[in-house]
Structure 1
Amino acid sequence: MNVPVTSTLPKHDIADASLAAQGRMRIEWAERNMPVLSQIRARFEKSQPFAGVRISACMHVTTETAVLMRVLKAGGADIALCASNPLSTQDDTAAALVHEYGISVFARNAVDRDGYYKHINASLDIEPHQVFDDGCDLVNTLHTTRKELIPNIAGGCEETTTGVIRLNQMAKDGALQFPMIAVNDTDTKHMFDNRYGTGQSTLDAVFRATNFLLAGRILVVAGFGYCGKGVAERAKGMGADVIITEIDPTKALDAMMQGFRVMPMADAAKLGDVFITVTGNRDVLRDEHFAVMKDGAIMANSGHFDIEIDVAWLEQHAAKKNAKMRHQTDEYVMADGRRLLLIAEGRLVNLGAAEGHPASVMDMSFSDQALTAEYLVKEAKNLKPGVHNVPTYIDKEVASLKLKSMGGLIDTLTPAQDMYLNSWEHGS
């Protein structure tokens, strides 16, 4: 690991220390747009809820995550951060966290798989009491190769749909050994972060990578959860003809009633100009779909892991690969001469080819995470191993603070209204 011998810096492995000043400016820019988290930080500085608490976090190393790390440190936490996706790591942010803010970071942009897991293990070497995860790789590592650390862990938070799916399966199989709270499932996360954040940042990444005009073109969205809705809504607003593919009849019906075409991917593959996967599953775009795609079709994945598009098949069967034709865009030339474009290697595109969600959206998600971590300090001992929801009062507090920061006000119930809603004795 890259640890100076005669330095008071925390343990770390980063790409370039000289980027620290640049990273600090970008972190401060993000912080300006995260007023709720700033209020929580001010409270944590006084109450010190994490005094003596060690937290290992496997998250996207971005400016917004840096603001959260600073909030936890202000509350007394000892933190070790590693990256949940090699392509999302901002090397200047990592440098600033280490050299400007004294936080332990193990993250380098584009690190290979071995380096990725070395970083996860390095973050676990602090023997954490809590864990933060984006995608469940850190929790999985704890339950496979670092089992000796489990007795020390009170609980943790998971912030992605993919991670919650994996945790629920672990819990179903009786494998999950400590409580994990599904921060992803709060209203202020999936209604706003997933929908507005993913919707905007995914298209931002496609535009940065290809400079493609969306108006008048056909965009296929695989999956109509909150992330898929966000992508579809924003693409429709920019003039695209949007097709939805789904496996859930209720979500498919919802898409149709919002005016979108719905069909199997086998049919959509013949029509699409742009394909965006947001399912959390594997092989959503595969050989049978590649075979019928148009020349010049663009593919991107906004699901957490790089398995939704079968990149391995493209690597093995394409007649030619033109790497990095444009920013984070590879061109695969098929045997018949058709060219298929893949953005960000099939990894999470909004962080691989752009900067991820706007800070104002992450303000809510990371406020949920900070307050849930505080809740765990107090209540983890009362929670059984398994997946738990964030307490409703935390979600409502974050929504109220965010609404107020945006200048929004709401009504309050009169005593008579409150009594009516909380009594069964009143007739119609």
Structure 2
Amino acid sequence: MLDIRWIRENPEKLDEALARRGAAPASAELIRLDEARREHLTRLQQLQGRRNDASKAIGKAKGSGDSDAAEKLIREVAEIKAAIQEGEETERRIDQSLEDALARIPNLPAADVPAGLDESANVEIRRFGEKPEFDFEPKEHAELGEALGMMDFEQAAKISGARFTVLRGGLARLERALGQFMLDLHTGEHGYEEVATPLLVRDEALFGTGQLPKFSEDLFHTTAGRWLIPTAEVPLTNLVREQILDPADLPTRVTALTPCFRSEAGSAGRDTRGMLRQHQFYKVELVSITAAETSLDEHERMTASAEEVLKRLGLSYRVVTLCAGDMGFSASKTYDIEVWLPGQGAYREISSCSVCGDFQARRMGTRYRPDGERSPRFVHTLNGSGVALGRALIAVMENYQNADGSITVPQVLRPYMGGIERIERSA
């Protein structure tokens, strides 16, 4: 959430930033709501001042024996009290209107974020690894998995509907191995603490990270009033909500492997074949809570941690900086890591790493008190995929496929696979 005081002082900058995101100007409406709030507060303060003065005058009137004046003042105080009570209710409504309006404004793009409104304006900044060469036509993961008898979309649809998958045997184990490998790497070498989080969260948690109120259609809501998490970013980031942190505890780095649930409401017709876009998938998430001065360095560090997963797996990938119009709601800058998929002949996103500044911290009420300063500051938050298991499985299958349809297990995963070197169809 943005600071209304900053908006009052920089209305043109806000509207320019929103234009970079492809959004309509909002400063005029926000300032109008804020002025209405400020004017109403002034009227309330004037009423309270008059009530205090009248209350003092009652005692003086009684002391001088002027009962008529005292009665008149008593009636006035009662009327003022009623007006204040009504005004306080109006104040709550005005405050809520302003809060609702602010809650729907996205974060401001960082100054070095490329201009543009969609993915065509994203900027590639580096590549790693050589694309594999095959002496046969490489297949997509869905064809490979079905031929192995280990990837079942038809039965999943009978159980749950479209955009679900049943994995069996070697592919189920390979996905599990990927998750264990990533957690071991991030906790053992990258300094993240593993956390087991709830999968159901309250409205406040999703508001804190920015999914609510604007993106409720992308989420699954339960009959008990809770929400299934779309990413472990939500519970991990909210671990510090409504706290004032010790600067000695920053940066805080946490990670979790969880299932994630997304309605994919805005992706009708996209990636309907295979596992690329699912309602349910597993992901290793990375979250960092930092001081303002170190958040940009932490962004580079987090992205490097996610890249290391793909390097260890021997996968070719590229890193792109998202343009302003392609970034998520809470991000001020985002790097996407795109892995090469030979079956598609294209790079596809496997991780997004974003720095959010104090945008989420304001929504969560999370601050820290720097040494030597009396007033606390808002922390900065970052999140990134480290990485999505389903897409990592797809990438391994397509990059390590063999002419006979088998899948060679990458060396780094074999300890997690009980030494299995190749996934083949059972006889």
Return the index of the structure with the highest Cα Rg: 2
Q: What TM-score results when the alignment is normalised by the length of structure 1?
A: 0.20
Q: What TM-score results when the alignment is normalised by the length of structure 2?
A: 0.20
